[in-house]
């Protein structure tokens, strides 16, 4: 292939690549706009509607509903997700003996009640229309919800940092900006991070009554594209377990979705959707007040079920660490094998690539020592 | 442990044991230089330099922002031919433009995401660099500079709209999108490149010509395989 032809091929490839990206993002954008006020319905294998949500689902997503029934999305058709019922989830199961060993290891690090809880807002603009008249403003109503959480936790005697950083505009880089806020407060040795959001769906989806007061439900979101998925999932399950016991009906469910939401940073990172833009700020604040009463039990282990959740979290974290090491070794081994031309190249003494350099260096060093 | 820290620790260990010699040769870095840069990133991530305060507040994190950019420039200056310079700069700017386009059209809303943005940043940088010149160097430069350009765009956007600006360049330190996308981009380009090149059984004629140019410029090929991938 001549240089000119090669340039032409590359040019065509780049233009095609760019066009695919543009059309793909435009499609997704259009879909996002469409979803703002529409529902995504989940139906079971028999076609029975299970629930509806504003959250768009992907194949493989897991949703644990209010009654702890777990569904895995198997197929998508426009705004319908066909899910398979996978069983009733035991939110804080008993430990196996292997898990006990892991939890003893993790208990070594311990946790202290003076470690702060950090509350922040990746989507700084999110607001409640019935209260503010608009769904988006520079300092969104979610800061008021965060403030309510902070005040209630402080009233109970706990240390809270409410991050007042603003991550606007509400675009695709918002999570990269809030990642920098998370990193900033990581230096204060916090025990947990709570990213407070609100959803965008019709009013009845999140409206409920708890203790005879109108409140919004809260959905717990866990990203499944990070290594802390298991620990964060256990954290969410423990939060749901405690809330279900003390304020039944407050938690809408747990969604294990695509994405990371900066939850790779730690084992107790949670994203809350406190109601939707169609609910009032007062309802959301009331939900935050109820929710704040159960947080210490799960985060600091002030109740026996909270303690059990913490142990389970610890054993999950230790198991994940083991998996990261195993996968890392497999990945590196695979890479070296390709790099040195297969297994033959890998064990060949006069190989020229990766591992060869190491062997050559070791050989050279031992030869020098002999001299 | 955050993803960025795992990535850097694994890299440091691999470099220490000499297992990344081929990649480092392609990046035109020695193992000592690479370890020194990783060390500087770790220490520097604890230091922020304030650039401006008030309504437009800008800080620069040394480990997450300054060192990666310096490393990208250092690698760029080691390019030997004008076409190599051109490709690296084109792919870096191209990455920045595509990333800006992506984040403005796709909000990566909870439950609306196919893949997390920080992995997309790396994918874009790696794909563009690989298509333009099968280059691991360009992938790294694109990953770093692409995210930097996003920050610059955010600054310009804020100035135009006259809205308050809180910009912390590389502010997440070791696990900032800048380092993650740079390092991941090299890994993607390297793994894809190795699989493709070993399946192809060597490099094409045109690339062999470029190797001759590189050697005549005084740089001796990085390995003895005859594969001149950058």
A137 pLDDT above the threshold of 70: yes
For residues B79 and B88, give the distance between their C-alpha atoms in angstroms, rounded to a whole number: 9
Question: Which DSSP category does A126 fall into?
Answer: B
Contact A209, A64 (CB under 8 A): no
* Ramachandran angles phi, psi of A63, nearest 5°: -125, 125
With contact defined as beta carbons under 8 Å apart, do A159 and A166 qualify?
no
Q: What is the pLDDT of residue B202?
A: 59
A47 or A234, greater pLDDT: A234
Q: Is the pLDDT of residue A356 over 90?
A: no
Q: pLDDT tens digits, residue range B41-52?
A: 989 999 999 999
- Per-residue pLDDT tens for B66-83? 999 999 999 999 888 888
Residues of A within 8 A of B128 (CB-CB) are 14, 17
- Interface check for B194 against chain A (CB to CB < 8 A): the answer is yes
pLDDT in tens, B146-202: 999 999 999 999 999 888 899 999 999 888 999 988 988 988 888 888 888 777 765
Which chain A residues touch B154 with a CB distance below 8 Å?
Answer: 173, 177
Residue A73 above 50 pLDDT? Answer: yes
* B21 to chain A: closest CA residue: A354
Look up the pTM and report it.
Answer: 0.81
Range A90-322 classified under CATH 3.10.20.30: no
* B168 inside 8 A of chain A by CB: yes
Cα separation of B88 and B27, whole Å? 12
Rounded to the nearest angstrom, the minimum Cα separation between A123 and chain B is 9
pLDDT of residue A166: 95
Whether A285 shows a pLDDT value over 60: the answer reads yes
In this structure, are residues B135 and B91 in contact, taking their beta carbons and an 8 Å threshold?
A: yes
How far B170 CA lies from chain A's nearest CA (Å)?
Answer: 8
Rounded average pLDDT over A187-201: 93
Q: Does B226 touch chain A (CB under 8 A)?
A: no
Q: Which candidate in B12, B101, B111 is best for mutational testing of the A interface (most A CBs within 10 A)?
A: B111
Domain ranges of chain B: 3-216
The sign one gets for the Cα dihedral A304, A215, B111, A186 is: negative
Contacts of B127 in chain A (CB under 8 A): 17
Residue pair A205/A186 in contact (Cβ under 8 Å)? The answer is no
**What's the confidence (pLDDT) of residue A353?**
47
Q: What is the pLDDT of residue A86?
A: 92
What are the chain B neighbours of A175 within 8 Å (beta carbons)? 108, 116-118
Give me the pLDDT at residue A195, please: 97
Q: Which two tokens stand for residue A300?
A: 């600091």
Residue B137 C-alpha, separation from nearest chain A C-alpha, in angstroms: 17
| Check: complex ipTM more than 0.90 | no
Structure tokens at B126: 């790696």
Q: Are strands A218-223 and A251-257 parallel, antiparallel or unpaired?
A: parallel
Residues A119 and A149: beta-carbon distance below 8 Å: yes
**Closest-approach residue (CA) in chain B for A59:** B114
Residue B173 is classified by DSSP as G
Query: What ranges do the domains of chain A cover?
Result: 90-322, 326-370
pLDDT in tens, B103-136: 888 878 777 777 888 888 888 888 888 887 778 8
The strand pairing partners of A119, in sequence order, are: A162, A194
**What number is the average pLDDT over the span A291-295?**
95
Task: Give the tokens for residue B38.
Answer: 């990783």
**CA A261, CA A282: separation in Å to the nearest integer?**
26
Match 């997704």 to its residue by tokens.
A28
B204 touches chain A (CB under 8 A): yes
CB proximity B16 to A under 8 Å? no
Quick check: B131 and A226 CB within 8 A? no
């Amino acid at each position: 292939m001549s240089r000119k032809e090669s340039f032409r091929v590359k040019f065509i490839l780049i233009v095609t690549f760019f066009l695919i990206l543009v059309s793909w993002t435009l499609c997704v954008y259009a879909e996002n706009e469409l979803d703002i006020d529409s529902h995504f319905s989940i139906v079971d294998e028999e076609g029975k509607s299970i629930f509806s949500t504003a959250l768009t689902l992907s194949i493989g997503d897991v949703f644990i509903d209010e009654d702890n029934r777990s569904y895995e999305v198997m197929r998508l058709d426009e705004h319908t997700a066909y899910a398979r019922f996978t069983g009733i989830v035991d939110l804080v199961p008993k430990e196996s003996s292997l898990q006990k060993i892991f939890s003893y290891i993790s208990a070594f690090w311990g946790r202290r009640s003076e470690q702060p809880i950090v509350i922040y807002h990746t989507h700084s603009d999110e607001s409640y229309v019935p209260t503010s008249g608009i769904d988006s403003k520079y300092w969104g109503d979610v800061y008021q919800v965060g403030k309510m959480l902070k005040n209630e936790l402080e009233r109970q005697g706990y240390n809270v940092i409410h991050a007042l950083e603003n991550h606007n505009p509400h675009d695709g880089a918002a999570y990269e900006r809030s990642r920098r806020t998370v990193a900033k407060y990581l230096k204060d040795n916090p025990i947990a991070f709570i990213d407070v959001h609100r959803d965008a769906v019709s009013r009845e989806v999140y409206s409920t009554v708890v203790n005879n007061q109108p409140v919004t439900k809260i959905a717990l979101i866990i990203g499944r594209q990070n290594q802390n998925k298991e620990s964060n999932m256990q954290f969410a399950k423990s939060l749901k377990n405690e809330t279900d016991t003390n304020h039944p009906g407050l938690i809408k469910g747990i969604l294990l979705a695509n994405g990371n939401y900066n939850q790779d940073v730690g084992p107790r990172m949670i994203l809350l959707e406190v109601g939707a833009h169609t609910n009032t700020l007062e309802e959301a604040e009331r939900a935050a007040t109820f929710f704040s009463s159960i947080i210490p039990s799960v985060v600091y282990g002030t109740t026996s079920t909270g303690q059990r959740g913490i142990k389970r979290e610890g054993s999950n974290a230790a198991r994940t660490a083991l998996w990261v090491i195993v996968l890392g070794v497999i990945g590196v081994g695979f890479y070296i094998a390709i790099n040195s031309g297969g297994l033959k190249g890998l064990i060949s003494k006069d190989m020229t690539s990766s591992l060869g350099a190491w062997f050559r260096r070791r050989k050279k060093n031992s030869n020098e020592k002999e001299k | 442990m955050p993803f960025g820290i795992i990535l850097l620790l694994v890299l440091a260990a691999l470099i220490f044991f000499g297992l990344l010699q081929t990649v480092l040769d392609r990046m035109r870095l020695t193992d000592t230089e690479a370890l020194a840069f990783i060390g500087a990133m770790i220490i520097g991530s604890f230091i922020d330099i304030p650039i401006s305060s008030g309504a437009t507040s800008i800080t620069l994190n040394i480990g997450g922002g300054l060192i990666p950019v310096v490393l990208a420039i250092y690698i760029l200056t080691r390019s030997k031919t004008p076409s190599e310079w051109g490709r690296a700069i084109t792919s870096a700017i191209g990455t920045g433009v595509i990333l800006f386009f992506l984040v403005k059209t796709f909000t990566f809303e909870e439950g609306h995401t196919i893949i997390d943005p920080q992995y997309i940043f790396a994918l874009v940088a790696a794909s563009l660099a690989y298509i333009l010149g099968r280059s691991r160097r360009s992938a790294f430069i694109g990953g770093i500079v692409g995210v930097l350009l996003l920050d610059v765009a955010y600054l310009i956007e804020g100035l135009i709209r006259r809205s308050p600006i809180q910009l912390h360049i590389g502010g997440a330190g070791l696990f900032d999108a800048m380092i993650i996308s740079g390092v991941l981009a090299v890994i993607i380009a390297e793994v894809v490149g190795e699989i493709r090149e070993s399946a192809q059984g060597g490099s094409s004629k045109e690339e062999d010509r470029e190797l001759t140019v590189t050697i005549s410029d005084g740089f001796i090929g990085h390995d003895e395989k005859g594969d001149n991938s950058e």
